[in-house]
Amino acid sequence: MKHKLFQVTTIIVILLFALTVGYYRDDVSGASGASSVFESAERQEHDSSFRWDKKRSSLQNNGSKDDRSAGAAGNDSPAGAAGDGSADGATGGGASDGAAGDNTSGGASGNGSADGSSDDAMQDSLSDEQNIIIDFPEDISEDQVKINQNFSPLQINIEFPVQEKDFFYTHPVHGNGKNVRDYQSVVLATMASVNINLDGLYEYEASFADHQLSLSLKNVSEIYDYVVIIDPAHGGSDLGSTHEETTEKELTLAISQQIEAYADELRAKGIGLFFTRETDRNVTTKERLCYAENADLYISVHINTNDNPEASGIQAFCVNNGVDGSKKAAAVCLEQVSQALDEKNDMVIMEIQSDLLSEIEIPAFEIQLGFLSNEAELQRIKTKEYKKKSAVGIIHAILEIYEKGLE
C-alpha cells in the first residue's frame, strides 16, 4: 500500500513540474511577442521558419496574383550577329545562382508576405504609396545601397550597411505589394539585406529621396515590343532523359546559355528574352506558367529519346489547346533549326499531350534538338558547334516570327 502511495505521489509531482515548465515557456514566448523575429542572426541561424504577424505587414496588396515563383534569366551576355553564330555563349554548367530556388535569406530579422494589412489606419498610411519603400540609415549615402535583380528566380536584392541589428523592426519594408509574392529582411553583422520575391516578370526603376529607396515595378510587356521565354526543360532533381552519364537537363541548359549570348542584340530590336532557369535548379510547372503570363512566345528546349536507337533528327511538338499560332511558330523554328544544323526534315509538327503547354495561353511549343538515345547523334549534340548552331536557328526563328508574325 505504501509502495502504491509513493508511486501516485511521484506521478503527481512530475505532472505538476511539467505543467509549471510549460506555463513558464508559454509566458516567456508570449512576452517576447513580435520582437522575437527581430533577434540577431546569431540567435536565429538554426531557425528555418519565418514568423509573420499580419498586423505588422507593411506591404499593401492590391489584387496580387496567385502565389507563384518563377525564374527567368536575363543576363546581358555579349552578342555577335544573330545570323552568323559567331558569338561565344556560355557552355554547359551554369553560373552560381545565389538563391538557386530557395528564396529565403537565412536568419531573418523580419519577414513579410503580400497578404495585405489588416489595420484600417495602416491602409490609410499606405494609400499614397505606389512603390516599394525601403528606408536606410541617415549616415548611409545612395552609392552604398546596392541593388541586384535576378530573373532566376524572380528576385530583387537590396543591401546596405547598418549598425542596428533590429533596424527592420523600426524601419519595416513598406509600400505597394501588388506584385510582391513575399519578402525577407535580415541584418547579418553590419549589413542589411532585403530579398523581394516577385510574382511575375517585372523590371524595376529606383529613386532615392529622404534616406529612402523607392522601387517601381514595370511589366516587361510594357518595356519590350515582344517578349520571348526560353525554357531549358527539366533541371535540378528532374534529369529528363538520360544516356549513361549524360542528362537531358544539362544539354538543354547548355544550349539555352548559347541562346542567351544573343540577348543584347534581340533587346536592341525590341525583343525581351528571358529564361526559366540559368542554372541546374528545380523549376515547377507553376513557375514556368508564370513566365507565359506576360510573354508573347514560349519555346521549351528539349532533347529527344526513343526506344529505337536509330531514331534521329529534329522534331517540334505542340498541343491543340485552341491557341492560335503555336503550330506556325513550331514550324518556323523547326525549319530554321534544321537549316542551321544542315539537316533534312519532313517538317511535320506533332501534337502531344502536355500539362505545361496546354495551360499556356500564348503560342508555345517544344523543340526537340536531336536524340539522346542515338549514340552518334548524342556525340554531335554534346559539341559546342552543335549547341551554337541550334541556338542560332532558334534566334533566327524568333526574329522571323517577330518580323512576319504568325498569321
Report residue 282 as a C-alpha cell: 528545380
Examine the fold and report which residue of 169, 188, 219 is the final residue of a domain before the chain moves on: 219
* Phi then psi dihedrals of residue 313, to 5 deg: 105, 175
Are 107 and 45 spatial neighbours (Cβ–Cβ below 8 Å)?
A: yes
Say yes or no: 346 and 243 in one domain.
yes
Beta pairing partners, 186:
193
Say yes or no: 233 and 289 in one domain.
yes
204: left (phi over 0), alpha (psi -120 to 50) or beta: beta
Please enumerate, as own/partner, the contacts of 98-102 that have beta carbons within 8 Å and a separation of 24 or more. Answer: 98/150, 98/157, 99/150, 99/153, 99/155, 99/195, 100/279, 100/281, 101/71, 101/153, 101/236, 101/281, 101/282, 101/283
Q: Count helices and strands (H / E) in the chain.
A: 11, 18
In the predicted model, what is the mean pLDDT of residues 266-273?
96
In the predicted model, what is the mean pLDDT of residues 175-182?
87
Domain that holds residue 350: 222-404
Tell me the CATH number at 264: 3.40.630.40
- The reported pTM is 0.69
Tell me, yes or no, whether 35 lies in a domain. no
In the predicted model, what is the mean pLDDT of residues 189-193?
93
326 pLDDT more than 50: yes
Specify the number of domains making up the chain: 2
Tell me, yes or no, whether 75 lies in a domain. no
Examine the fold and report which residue of 187, 219, 251 is the final residue of a domain before the chain moves on: 219
Q: Is 88 exposed, middle or buried (0-12, 13-18, 19+ CB in 10 A)?
A: middle
Say yes or no: 245 and 199 in one domain.
no
Tell me, yes or no, whether 27 lies in a domain. no
Say yes or no: 342 and 283 in one domain.
yes
Say yes or no: 62 and 144 in one domain.
yes
Tell me the C-alpha to C-alpha distance, in Å, between residue 76 and each of 31, 96, 235, 317, 332: 50, 16, 22, 29, 25
177 pLDDT more than 60: yes
Tell me, yes or no, whether 73 lies in a domain. no
Give CA–CA dist 367/42, Å, rounded: 49
Say yes or no: 250 and 394 in one domain.
yes
Evaluated on CA atoms 232, 235, 239, 242, the torsion sign reads: positive
Question: Could you read off the pLDDT of 25-53 as tens digits, one per residue?
Answer: 333 333 333 322 223 333 333 232 222 23
23 pLDDT more than 50: no
Give CA–CA dist 182/174, Å, rounded: 12
Are 259 and 265 spatial neighbours (Cβ–Cβ below 8 Å)?
A: no
Listing DSSP states for 242-303 in one string gives EETTEEHHHHHHHHHHHHHTTHHHHHHTTEEEEES-SSS----HHHHHHHHTT-SEEEEEEE
Give CA–CA dist 329/349, Å, rounded: 10
Say yes or no: 236 and 258 in one domain.
yes
Percent of the chain past pLDDT 90, that is, above it, reads 53
Half-sphere exposure of 232 (CA within 13 A, CB side): 36
Tell me, yes or no, whether 163 lies in a domain. yes
Tell me, yes or no, whether 333 lies in a domain. yes
* Predicted local distance difference test score (pLDDT) of residue 129: 52
Tell me, yes or no, whether 41 lies in a domain. no
Question: Could you read off the pLDDT of 81-92 as tens digits, one per residue?
Answer: 333 333 333 333
Q: Which residues fall within 8 angstroms of residue 12, CB to CB, at 6 or more apart? A: none
In the predicted model, what is the mean pLDDT of residues 338-366?
88
Say yes or no: 236 and 192 in one domain.
no
Say yes or no: 117 and 234 in one domain.
no
Say yes or no: 233 and 365 in one domain.
yes
Say yes or no: 208 and 344 in one domain.
no
Question: Could you read off the pLDDT of 370-381 as tens digits, one per residue?
Answer: 999 999 999 999
111 pLDDT more than 70: no
Say yes or no: 241 and 355 in one domain.
yes
pLDDT, averaged across the chain: 76
Tell me, yes or no, whether 9 lies in a domain. no
Examine the fold and report which residue of 187, 203, 219 is the final residue of a domain before the chain moves on: 219
